[in-house]
Amino acid sequence: MNEQLGELRKLEEKFHGIDKQFLTDGLRLVIFLPAFALLFIFGSWAFSSQSPDWWLENIEPTLGFDLSTAFILIALTILLGYSAGLGVHRYRVHITRMVFRAEVNAAADDHRPINSMHGYSSLDSVISKTMASHNTALFMSLFSIAVISFTVYLGSDSELGKRGLLACASMLAMSIAQHLSTRNFKFNMVTNDGLLGAYHPPMHPSTLNLAFNEILRNQMDPLLRSKFDDFLRDFEANVKRGVSPDFATEKFLMLMHRRYKGRVDRNTTNDEIKEILSDKGINEILEHETFSESLWDSIFIRSEKKLPAFYRLIDRIEQDMAIGKQPDMPDLLFDVDLENVVTENANLFCYIHNLSNSDRQVLLRVNSPDFRPKELLLRYSLKAGEKSYWPNQAVPDFEKGDDDRLGRMSGLLQEGTLAWQTLLPEASGDASVAVRLENTDGDLLVGRQINVNVRPEFVKWFRNASSITSYIAGALGLSAALIFQLMSLI
């Protein structure tokens, strides 16, 4: 089983390199080749009645056929290359699916049932639907080759030949549409983060216990999430005695985020990790086989893109701590953030931390007339701030122990309450969200009004619009060709 999986991985790596450099990325031949083929098909149609003088006098006597036929032959050659490219891309996706399912079966044999994890069904469905779209696109391109080959035999100047050119161009347009519909879900099994592009994160708990842990876990596909669980077990096994594993995990993940942002060098990273991990575990964790520096960067890039409000929120709290700014309320720390531009959904983050010496209860009320749910009311019981972590003066960035910004922020996120709510927009345009923090009697403690702009993601919208337009144009052209042929027969 391992040998077979290794061979599949090597095969996928070879075809993925070709695919990435020439076909779907890099030169993007599967986009440019059919576009050029369409130009030559329409050129053949334009010169089907009469070739230009320069061709008649200089070239046609040598070649023995007109300019329209030459354009058809060029288009046929390009279509052969396009179909070959689609075939290679489809084969690469087929191998990726085989490697994915082999990984899932291997994990099941190790008593790690990935197929029962949340998000597996949707991910497997996306891979299967993408494979089906590639099959359809390849079939349409082969049909176009058959039609244009028949047109070469008939001649483009005949009525049937012209209708053949129309049918060929229409099927080619629909083939392009099928391929474009898959470009929103790019995936591979060559890299550890290869499935993230095809994975749609599920809904999340409304209140986070371990902020960074749950934020990053939410963005991971089931296969990577399973490996992350193994990584955390290795990490906790190397935590120093007397250090809370949860605190150590949050501190490490925040440290990795700072390293990704370029705010900490290698020496400082080692010094901070020495405070939470044993000497044996430092190299094991930093040089981890799966969770390397490049994978952490990829996860943080995706996380910051999907959840910018969370990172803005913690950065703002950290900046206030850095200058020693005191909270607006002396006994309560509260902050809220939301995306400025909303595409698929809005992610509202609210942070609450009790700084007083007694327990208390507060109400978090969210009113959003332009989103669903329109009104939300949450009741939180806040424990007394035994470790408030909020300083009375400026805090250094890094320092021995947990009295620096990294240690204090890790403690704040662990001891405080972080609410994460997903709001679904009902229409595009300007929208607003009102957030109120109240006491149990309904009296307002602090309120925020947030204005956002709801609009579709441009790249995804452009791909979908191009795919739909190509499909409609191709369907209309193919219908017209069939109708004209039936009329000629009648």
pLDDT tops 80 at residue 203 = no
Average pLDDT over residues 396-415: 82
- What pLDDT is recorded for position 205? 67
Q: Please return the burial class of 118, using the count of CB atoms within 10 Å of its CB with bins 0-12, 13-18 and 19+.
A: exposed
Contact 90/135 with Cβ under 8 angstroms?
yes
Lowest mean pLDDT among 91-105, 382-396, 445-459: 382-396
* Bridge partner residues of 207 (DSSP): 419
- What pLDDT is recorded for position 161? 84
Size of the chain, expressed as the number of residues it contains: 490
Q: How many CA within 13 A on the CB side of residue 163?
A: 13
Name the band, by pLDDT with cuts 50, 70 and 90, for residue 408. confident
- Whole-angstrom Cα distance, residue 165 to residue 152? 10
- What pLDDT is recorded for position 145? 95
Residue with tokens 């689609």: 86
Percent of the chain with pLDDT over 70: 98
- Whole-angstrom Cα distance, residue 381 to residue 95? 51
Domain range annotation of the chain: 2-195+460-489, 201-306, 325-455
pLDDT tops 80 at residue 282 = yes
Q: Phi, psi (5° rounding) for residue 393?
A: -145, 175
Average pLDDT of the chain to the nearest whole number: 90
Average pLDDT over residues 203-214: 85
pLDDT tops 60 at residue 429 = yes
Architecture of the domain made up of 325-455 = Sandwich (2.60)
pLDDT tops 80 at residue 397 = no
Name the band, by pLDDT with cuts 50, 70 and 90, for residue 387. low
pLDDT tops 80 at residue 392 = no
pLDDT digits (tens, 9 = 90+) for 6-44: 899 999 999 999 999 999 988 899 999 999 999 999 999
Run of H or E including 380: strand 375-382
Both tokens assigned to 121 = 């069904």
Name the band, by pLDDT with cuts 50, 70 and 90, for residue 91. very high
Both tokens assigned to 243 = 């250090």
- What pLDDT is recorded for position 115? 85
Better pLDDT: 321 or 212: 212
pLDDT digits (tens, 9 = 90+) for 293-325: 999 999 999 999 999 999 999 999 988 888 888
- Whole-angstrom Cα distance, residue 67 to residue 56? 8
pLDDT tops 70 at residue 490 = no
Q: Phi, psi (5° rounding) for residue 165?
A: -65, -40
pLDDT digits (tens, 9 = 90+) for 137-182: 999 999 999 999 988 888 777 888 888 999 999 999 999 999 998 8
Sign of the C-alpha dihedral, residues 8, 9, 12, 18?
negative
- What pLDDT is recorded for position 407? 85
Average pLDDT over residues 253-271: 90
- What pLDDT is recorded for position 233? 93
